[in-house]
Amino acid sequence: MYDKILTSLSYGMFAVGVRGDERPNACIVNTVMQISSWPMTIAVSINHSNYTNECIKKTGEFTVSVLSENTSGSAIGALGYNSGRDTDKLSNVRYKMLKEGMPVIQENICCWFMCKVVNTVETVTHTIFIAEPVAGSEKIKGKPMTYNYYRNVIKGKSPKFAPTYIEEKQDQVEKYVCTICKYEYGDPLLPFDELPDSWVCPICGAPKSVFRKQD
């Protein structure tokens, strides 16, 4: 089977916020979906090794911030490429705290909601949290960011433990590295040289000119 066939499925881009042991924490996920409307339930898939997984299991609560196409790449990078166990991932990201002690991202999101876990399903690598939304935004703003937009417009990548992660074949992809934040670009469908001059690093916003080809 073609190993990228599942990329044809539709995904969104979300930030899941939790109460951490020492500080609030959040991570980027692309697998949040509605299961039923009555009772209203959603499902979120998070890797076993992810600190957010651990926090949700302790508290039974989390928030979901629905990212928009205007959410900054630097915010996505801060929440998606670090571990909350040893990093304050929210230190350079705008957010608000709910009275329940969980963060809601404020980086041009569409909307948010808070959830209480009602059930869990364990897979080999991920926990699927089934939860009931109990509070949230009064309206939706902007256009929700899809995973396709993130991959093909922002040129973002999936972290190793994301459900959609597919290891690229290193011998087929030329890598270019941002000299500012060390983000690696290597898309077999769109070579770096074919990116427009206006393209910027999806993590730190640096221009294309600061990238260097990886030996």
The 10s digit of each residue's pLDDT in 102-142 is 999 999 999 999 999 999 999 999 999 999 999 999 999 99
- The pLDDT of residue 169 is 47
Tell me the mean pLDDT in the region 6-25: 90
pLDDT, tens digit (0-9, with 9 covering 90-100), for 161-203: 555 555 544 446 788 999 888 888 887 778 898 889 999 888 8
Please state the pTM of the whole predicted model.
Answer: 0.75
| pLDDT tens per residue across span 33-50 | 999 999 999 999 999 999
Q: Which residue has the higher pLDDT, 156 or 160?
A: 156
pLDDT of residue 187: 78
pLDDT band at 147 (very low <50, low <70, confident <90, very high): confident
Average pLDDT, the chain: 88
Q: What's the pLDDT score for residue 157?
A: 65
> What is the per-residue pLDDT for 78?
87
What pLDDT score does 70 carry?
93
**Region label for 89, one of left (φ > 0), alpha (ψ between -120 and 50) or beta (otherwise):** alpha
Structural domains of the chain, ranges and CATH numbers in brackets: 11-148 (2.30.110.10), 172-215 (2.20.28.10)
Type and span of the H or E element at 105: strand 103-105
The predicted pLDDT at position 80 comes to 85
Mean pLDDT within 51-64: 97
> How far apart are the C-alpha atoms of 48 and 53, rounded to whole Å?
6
DSSP-based three-state secondary structure for 14: strand
Distance CA 82, CA 161 (A): 12
pLDDT given at position 170: 44
Contact 85/40 with Cβ under 8 angstroms? no
Judge whether residue 26 has pLDDT over 90.
yes
**How confident is the model at residue 167, as a pLDDT?**
55
